[in-house]
Chains A and B, each alone.
Chain A
């Protein structure tokens, strides 16, 4: 039931996400192609130096160098950039086919998002006045429109000391009179002394549109990041609490760290649009984001390794880190580094979850499918994934991780319940064992005889029997009892059986510690088996059972060797005898179940015939495994 509901929810969410992302990606491609297909690109001129006359529309800049907007020089004093645009009309036609709109410029990924949001979020209306001038760049500048200063960002300086850094993003409103149709000259006086990036060039990004629309879009830009931040933060806190309160499981700690890092990263993303920052912060911010993305990838891999108990983790992590580090050297574009990092992490996660599915790990299917979809989303929208689609492309793996942790917690709960039931069953079994007709009725029959023939012995027999029942009642509720108690019970039992058989049974011990902990009735069962299966006890002067204990190695391990004397009886006659019939009958099953209950995976039992009898060896590790 749980699974079907989960699957349905998963599918619905995924369908929604994929269509959203695909739509945005579709737009991105279209627009970009549309841009490239523009006839007649704008011409940009640049000149290093500084002269206020260069702002004038009638200044002759034909001698100036032609540049591309992505090749602005960094840390190179003050320089001017000029271009002319023709406006056929005050309002712009559809941006889609770009007809008549010469101010469409090539964009970087982030700016593309801005345009997309313009379109998709309905803020854009082709009828609106195009009086907005948005600039995003790592520079300080002054913008002149037809010689008139329309906006300023910081103060350009010929030397680093002279420049005053401006903000990364700016939006200026053009006075209405300058938006008339005709040719216009845009001149920008700029400098970038604190570019931060090691590269000698940076890009200047300009978008024109309706001022109000651009403003609205800017304020909405951070929306998805803030949502992702909130969600990741909540999950991180919850997982962290879960780790603290539910037994310090490492997978929960990793999940908490993972979501915490995701939240931090999204906070950094959202910061740009929510709180503006001076452009020198851009480079460190990008580096920080890239590092966080790398950390995110590593944590994701680490989490899956932990949750699915994957072997040979070290080299997997090593490979991932190496590829991620390699990306830093391959490309200077931080978006690309992030893309490689995330792709590497996702592919590794995909591989791990595939292995986990093959090896029957709980919840691995969901993670595998989730990673497939995340990779698909990444592929569909490689430019947008850090901001808008991050919520989805990382949200899906997060959901998968949550599912895995939940399922594992559920499994543990069920296992704990089973264990409790098993313990109760063993307790009942122990009580039942000794109240079995075979033991009780035969003892009573023997007692009848002894009462009539030898009353004093009868008294001893009755007292021994009472002591045995008392000890069993005391011990049956425990998972572990002291060896001293167990040996006392064994000796009492031997007394009873000795009186019944008319033989003398003795239990010798060597190297045993009375306060060692063992499960109840383990040696008693071995003793019973010995009495049942061995011959040579009738009429023998003395039957000696031996229990030897020794330390195992350097750990707190112990080795018990139990010897019961006598030649083994033919199986058929042993079968006819009594309870705890075969060697591997209910008696030995009880012993193994009790050992597993208290020493899960840390015990070993072997037995076999030796000269003169039967030997059983039990090895235990007392320490709690970490």
Chain B
């Protein structure tokens, strides 16, 4: 796992780096430190990390802008901050975790585990997903999302009004921050269960979920039983 640490206090950055290396152990890939997100910009596009540890003070509009740029990325964002006032707001924008300063090893471990374990979720679900469009960042309301379709390293978000938006995160990462109402029905599909009208079984173990808007999405064989249970 590649980690990028954005922290300008050298002692704190030092501490974070040490902890991350120790906690990840053999799974630690490239651990890099930058003083500011802009500075890390080049590196972000060359070799995007799996996890971003960001020191962010959410006072003022620019703090929010920085947050939105971060959560629009392909990587998980964990905020490590001294200011906890707007932690909830950060979660609503799709961060995976919020670690207050000063932090213990255990607390950081908790955050890292969330990033590495499959099926782990953030404590609070996102209300907005940030998508990169025309060089800017736009916020999509999660309530508008019907389902997400995997498209290689990206996800395609399908909205209620039929629009489609591209998000940089994989379905797996999206699932970690989206509310539990979204289920991974298929390798390539993450669906809002409340939008499912019915499940259909066809010949040859082909299962389908019929959505209220008429769309039909495939359901993975292994997942079918679970989904059916959940629908009941």
A interface residues with partner B (beta carbon < 8 Å):
437-438, 440-442, 444-450, 500-502, 538, 569-573, 575-579, 581-582
Contacts and interface: CB of A to CB of B under 8 A. Distances in A.
B11 A577 contact: no
A513 B187 CA distance: 74
Contacts, number: 81
23 contacts: A441-B82, A441-B100, A441-B101, A442-B9, A444-B101, A445-B11, A445-B82, A449-B11, A450-B11, A500-B10, A500-B11, A501-B10, A570-B36, A572-B62, A575-B60, A575-B62, A575-B66, A576-B36, A576-B55, A576-B56, A577-B8, A581-B59, A581-B60
A576 B12 contact: no
A547 to B, nearest CB: 25
A575 B60 CA distance: 7
B10 A576 contact: no
B102 A500 contact: no
B57 A445 contact: no
B36 to A, nearest CB: 4
A576 B37 contact: yes
Interface of A is mostly: helix
A538 B59 CA distance: 24
Given A438-B82, A572-B66, A579-B59, A449 B15 contact: yes
Nearest to B55: A576
B17 to A, nearest CB: 11
Contact of B66 (A438, A442, A501, A576): A576
Q: Which one of A438, A450, A576, A577 has the greatest number of beta carbons of chain B within 10 Å?
A: A576
Contacts of B38: 570, 572-573
B15 A577 contact: no
Interface string B32-60: 00011111000000000000000111011
Contact of A445 (B9, B36, B63): B9
A572 B66 CA distance: 8
A441 B100 CA distance: 9
Contacts of A569: 36
Contacts of B39: 573
Contacts of B37: 573, 576
A611 to B, nearest CB: 23
Contact of A442 (B59, B63, B65, B101): B101
Most chain A CB atoms below 10 A, which of B12, B59, B100: B59
Nearest to A538: B10
A437 B65 contact: no
A536 to B, nearest CB: 11
Contacts of B100: 441
Nearest to B102: A445
Contacts of A437: 82-84
Contacts of B11: 445-446, 449-450, 500-502
Contacts of A442: 9, 12, 82, 101
Ranked 8 nearest A-B pairs via Cβ = A575-B62, A441-B82, A446-B11, A445-B102, A573-B36, A449-B15, A441-B101, A437-B82
A440 B100 CA distance: 12
Contact of B57 (A438, A446, A501, A571): A438
A576 B57 contact: yes
A349 B38 CA distance: 67
B63 A576 contact: yes
A511 to B, nearest CB: 34
A325 to B, nearest CB: 68
A570 B36 CA distance: 10
B27 interface: no
B156 to A, nearest CB: 30
B110 interface: no
Contacts of B101: 441-442, 444-445
B154 interface: no
A446 B12 contact: yes
Interface string B156-173: 000000000000000000
B14 interface: yes
Contacts of A570: 36, 38
Contacts of B10: 500-502, 538
Given A444-B101, A573-B38, 7 more contacts: A437-B82, A440-B82, A449-B11, A538-B8, A570-B36, A572-B62, A579-B57
**Which among B11, B39, B101 has the highest number of chain A CB atoms within 10 Å?**
B11
A196 to B, nearest CB: 85
Contacts of A582: 60
A423 B149 CA distance: 60
Contacts of A572: 38, 62, 65-66
Contacts of B102: 441, 444-445, 447-448
A447 B14 CA distance: 12
Interface in B102-154: 102-103
A501 B62 contact: no
A442 B100 CA distance: 10
B62 A445 contact: no
Contacts of B63: 575-576
Nearest to A497: B9
Nearest to B100: A441
Contacts of A438: 57, 82-83
Contacts of B84: 437
B62 A576 contact: yes
Interface in B75-102: 82-84, 100-102
A501 B9 CA distance: 6
